Amino acid sequence: MVIFSSARALLFKPKCIIESLIHKFPRFYLGCLTLLALFGYAYVLLFPLLVPVGLLNIYQLFMLGDVANWQSALTWFAIVSIAALVSYRSTQIKLKPPVGLTLTEDKAPELFELVQKHRNYFKRPAIHRIVVTAQYELDIVKTPLWALPVWSTNTMIIGLPVLQSLSPKQFECVVARRIGQFSKRYNPLTNWLYQLRAIWQQYRVSYSQQKGFGIEPLKWFFSAYAPLYATASLNAARLDELNADTYAMELFNDEEVLEMITADALCRWYLHNQFWPAVYKIASIETKSAQTPHTKIASAVHAIKSGDRLDILIDKVYRQKPHSIQAIPSLQDRIKNIGHEKPRMKEQTAENAAVFYLGASVKGIVDIIDKLWLKSFLEKRKRQHQRKQVAPEQVTSA
């Protein structure tokens, strides 16, 4: 009966069972995930290694001088030819760094000073460029310089909504946690596994855009491997995010970190569930007037951080479970991880981080991000319109 109930639970609730096993045997899970990560490296190295191995086998066959070995020699010649072609095509791939508005130090000196201050404390990582995007995100993305992900450039991605939603102190805390996370002082394994989520996705996108003979083995592999790895590594990524919060505790007291975690979860939830759905709904109706949502984010977020709505929204976010495909853990898990039981945040009355760290450049940056967002939105709407036109034609022809 117990076996039957366990089999039934695994059949109807496989995700819950798998997550339970991962939490119960974390080392075994991380070990299996490490093997999966190394499999990606092994596949990339496979084709360059096949070339010298194949040539050595051909040489040995010719040295034997046995006519019966000609079939083996031709087989190895075909393998070497294909491996050499795939290896050559892989060296031509240039992975593109994250897209966004690239900041220069003269445009945001306070922001660069903040990043450098935390880099000096944690000693790592090197930040080669800082870009501002339209999404609510703050991350460091490694872009490999060649076919094997060993040497990379580091891009710090800062979403403009993060700057507009958080206070200067909260934003400083968010930056510290991310730089500390990538310093890998205490979390080298989980952060390496975390980084590969973005790296394998870059390979998938880059290879999918390539045309011509010889790239297919890599294109087909990463089209399946990158999504598989992203799914399998989700719990490891959440564990690394929890480690990131503990890094912030080195520079800020627990009350400041608690407030940062609460504000981060609240703003992320509000923008995703209320602000952006309202923006897209209005944009679908108001087709003539251009939408400028990023000029309104700061005031919209400030409004929910004051009055009676604040406690109600915090309690609502606190009860939310983590998103099924996002690496960020739930607010409950993050708070428990730093030794607290309930979220806490003061009403925000000070200026937001965008005004403090972008200074005189803030208006120009907001305008540019709004234009980039509008361009992306219009292109997406155009593609949706084209698909709707194609669908009736296919039905009619059928």
Mean pLDDT of the chain: 87
Helix or strand or coil: residue 222?
Answer: helix
Q: What is the pTM of this model?
A: 0.87
Query: Is the predicted pLDDT of residue 328 greater than 80, yes or no?
Result: yes
Our CA angle for 320, 28, 338, nearest 5°, is 40
Cα gap 126→330, rounded to integer Å: 29
CA dihedral 338, 339, 344, 348 (to 10 degrees): -30
Contact 162, 168 (CB under 8 A): no
Percentage of the chain beyond pLDDT 70 is: 89
Q: Within 13 Å, how many C-alpha atoms sit on residue 273's CB side?
A: 11
Query: Among 54-58, 69-73, 361-365, which range has the highest average pLDDT?
Result: 361-365
Residue 7, pLDDT score: 47
Note the pLDDT tens digit of each residue in 31-48.
999 999 999 999 999 999
Query: Among 238-247, 316-325, 367-376, which range has the highest average pLDDT?
Result: 238-247
Residue 237, pLDDT score: 95
Helix or strand or coil: residue 360?
Answer: helix
Query: Is the predicted pLDDT of residue 231 greater than 90, yes or no?
Result: yes
What is the DSSP annotation of 15-44?
HHHHHHHHHHSHHHHHHHHHHHHHHHHHHH
Cα gap 291→279, rounded to integer Å: 8
Q: Which residues pair with 153 in a beta bridge?
A: 143
Query: Is the predicted pLDDT of residue 195 greater than 60, yes or no?
Result: yes
Beta strands 152-159 and 101-103: pairing type?
Answer: unpaired
Which run of H or E residues covers position 2? helix 2-12
- Higher-scoring residue by pLDDT: 163, 397: 163
